[in-house]
Structure 1
Amino acid sequence: MELSIDQTFLPHTDPDAALTFYRDALGFEVRDDVGSGALRWITVAPPGATSIVLYPVDGDPDLAAAERDTIAAMLAKGSYARIHLATPDLAATFDRVQAAGADVVQEPTDQPWGVRDCAFRDPAGNLVRINQKG
C-alpha cells in the first residue's frame, strides 16, 4: 500500500488574519479560498508541499454550543491544534515571521533532544513550531 498526506486541517477564527499569517508571514501559496465572510475554507501550502486547509471553527453545524465553547477556550490557550514545519535556515525564517508581527512563543533554541527550533502562535492560537532542517 502506498499512502501520502493530501491535506491536513487547522482551525481559524478570522480568515483574513489566518490568510495574512500563512501567506505573508510564512510565504505559503494560496491554493483555494472558498466560502464567504467568516465561513471561509482557505487551502495554503509551501510550494510543492502538502496542503493545509484553514477551516472556520464555526463552520461545523454538528457542533453543539458547549463544544464550540470548549474549542474556543482551547484555541485561546494554544492547546487545540499544532503544526510542525521545517526550514534549512531557522534564523532567517524566525526573523521573517517575527518581523511580520507573529506571536513569538519561543525564539530559536537548541532542544535537549537534538532539534533546534522556534515556535509561534497563528492568529487563532494554533502552535506553529519550526525546526532547523539539515
Structure 2
Amino acid sequence: MKIETITLFVEDLPPTKKFYQDVFGLEVVFEDEVSAVVKFGDLMINLLQAAEADELIEPARVAGRDSGSRVLLTIAVEDAHAVCAELQRHGVTLLNGPIDRPWGRRTAAFADPAGNIWEIAQELPGA
C-alpha cells in the first residue's frame, strides 16, 4: 500500500496553487476550475476548492480555515536552517523553528495560504 494523493481543501485556489509552484517548485499535472493537482515526488497533492469538497466527505463537513489545524505534513530535509532561509526568500513566514526536538529532529513549521501546516524535519546526528 502507498498513499497516492492527498487532497487539501482551499478557499482561494489561485494563490494556493501559486504557493505550491513557487515555494516547492511543483508542476501542475491536472487543473480545472475548482482544483489543481501538483506532483510532489511520487505523491500527488490535489488542491480542491473547499466549496466543492462536501460531496467527497459527506456526511462529514469541511472545516473552515480558522477552525484550527488537523493535519501536519512533514518533509524530510538535509539542512533545516538552509531550507528555512529558502522558504523566507519565497516570503514564507515560519510558524516556529528551527527547533531541536527531543526525538532527534530539527523542525520548523509553516502554513500554505489555505492554512494547511507543513513541517520540515532534519535528522540530527546521533538520533
Which residue, out of 33, 37, 42, partners 1:49?
42
TM-score (norm 2): 0.81
Unaligned runs of 5+ in 1: none
Contact between 2:98 and 2:106, CA under 8 Å: does it hold in 1? Answer: yes
Identity %: 29
Deviation of 1:92 (Å): 2.1
Taking a change above 3 Å as real, the CA distance of residues 103 and 76 of structure 1, as seen in their structure-2 partners, is farther
- How many matched pairs? 122
Contact between 1:21 and 1:102, CA under 8 Å: does it hold in 2? Answer: no
| Alpha-carbon RMSD | 2.3
1:112 and 2:110 matched:
no
TM-score (norm 1): 0.78
Q: Which residues of 2 match residues 1-40 of structure 1 at below 5 A?
A: 3-34=1-32, 36=33, 40=34
Contact between 1:77 and 1:125, CA under 8 Å: does it hold in 2? Answer: no
Secondary structure of 1:58 counterpart: helix
Q: How many angstroms apart in 2 are the aligned matches of 1:77 and 1:133?
A: 31
Taking a change above 3 Å as real, the CA distance of residues 49 and 104 of structure 1, as seen in their structure-2 partners, is same
